[in-house]
Amino acid sequence: MSNQKLVIPQSEAKELLSLPTREAEQLFQSYEKEQQLEIIRATRNPKQREELYYLVPDCTELIQDSPTEDVLQVIDTLLGTGLACGLLPCLSNEQFEEIMDIAIWKDGKIDENSLSLWLFELSECEREDLSRFLNQIDMRILAGLLKNRIKLKGSLGALMIEEGIIDPNSTSIDCKDDQAKAILNAIWEADDTLFTQLLRQMFAIDKEGDAETELVTALEKATAERAERVKTRDSEAGIKITESDLKEHVDLDSLNLAEEEEGDADK
């Protein structure tokens, strides 16, 4: 027989949030993990949900067992402040990839503002965490984001990339804005191999076609792969509707709707 205490999640959450921190921590930690998750799930205000996560010494497990959209909602309240780096390291790689597949895409296209915001937030994380997350972000997407903001100067740039001896402070790299420079610096500090890979992707080093065409093709592939991942995850969650379904238009003049007659439903 289970020795779990009976709790009503909504009222329990209310009580926890009204208690002094120490008492709230003791009470929250007295629950089984499933009960804690239930209390968190029942709390619809993301700021309050964030407070509940902090009632345990390490909320990694709770974060990783929460619905991804719920976690993203909490992170969204912190995005742009640099404070999300307290929670971001708790995400599993799969969860981070899932979050990226939602957060940096709008209407099936990359949302550059959101991606920039996320990269800024990530750059505030420990270099080890940043490296882990950067490896989860599709390199083609990063290259797409930065392609118009970073240019290669002089004839030596491509050679330096090819040899892997380039860094963000190289005179061959021309950043159009400070944010692009900060992103490049963060990537370099987190993982120099990744940094070189990114530049190779951006400037289509070793590729036969021109950089612009290569990048467009790469982005199309990344978009298709992301759509497939989203579809698989949705299907597992019982969501049969796809983004393409929601964008589809119908011919209003030749609608052909099936109609179930009375009694058919019982058959």
Residues 216-235 close enough to bind another protein by CB under 8 A: 234
Of 11-19, 67-75, 83-91, 126-134, the segment contacting another protein by CB under 8 A is: 67-75
Is the CA virtual torsion 53, 102, 180, 128 positive or negative? positive
* Site track for another protein across 175-214, x = CB under 8 A: ----------------------------------------
Asked if 261 interacts with another protein (CB under 8 A), we say yes
User: 4 and 32 in contact (C-beta within 8 Å)?
Assistant: yes
Half-sphere exposure in the Cβ direction for 67 (13 Å, CA): 14
Smallest separation, CB 222 to another protein (Å): 17
Map residue 152 onto helix, strand or coil: strand
* 44 near another protein, rule: CB under 8 A: yes
Q: Give the integer Cα–Cα distance in Å for 190 and 127.
A: 5
Q: Which one of the spans 151-159, 161-169, 221-229, 250-258 is the region binding another protein (CB under 8 A)?
A: 250-258
**Least Å from the CB of residue 236 to another protein:** 13
Element (H, E) at 169: none
Reported as half-sphere exposure (CB side, CA atoms, 13 A), residue 211 has a value of 17
Phi, psi for 99 (deg, rounded to 5): -60, -45
Q: Among positive and negative, which fits the CA dihedral 167, 171, 173, 175?
A: positive
Is residue 236 part of the contact set for another protein (CB under 8 A)?
no
Give residues 147-166 in contact with another protein (rule: CB under 8 A): none
Tell me the HSE value of 29 on the side-chain side, using a 13 A CA sphere: 12
**Closest CB to another protein among residues 4, 113:** 113
The residue among 182 and 227 lying less far from another protein, judged by its C-beta, is 227
Q: Give the count of beta carbons closer than 10 Å to the beta carbon of residue 8.
A: 12
Say which DSSP state 245 is in: H
Position 240 contacts another protein (CB under 8 A): yes
Region of 9-17, 38-46, 147-155, 191-199 interacting with another protein (CB under 8 A): 38-46
Longest CA pairwise span in the chain (Å)? 77
- Give the nearest distance from C-beta 251 to another protein in angstroms: 8
Q: Which stretch binds another protein (CB under 8 A): 9-17, 28-36, 44-52, 137-145?
A: 44-52
Contacting residues toward another protein, per CB under 8 A: 41, 44, 46-47, 67, 69-70, 72-74, 76-77, 79, 102, 105-108, 111, 113-114, 234, 238-243, 245-246, 248-250, 252, 255, 257-262, 264-265
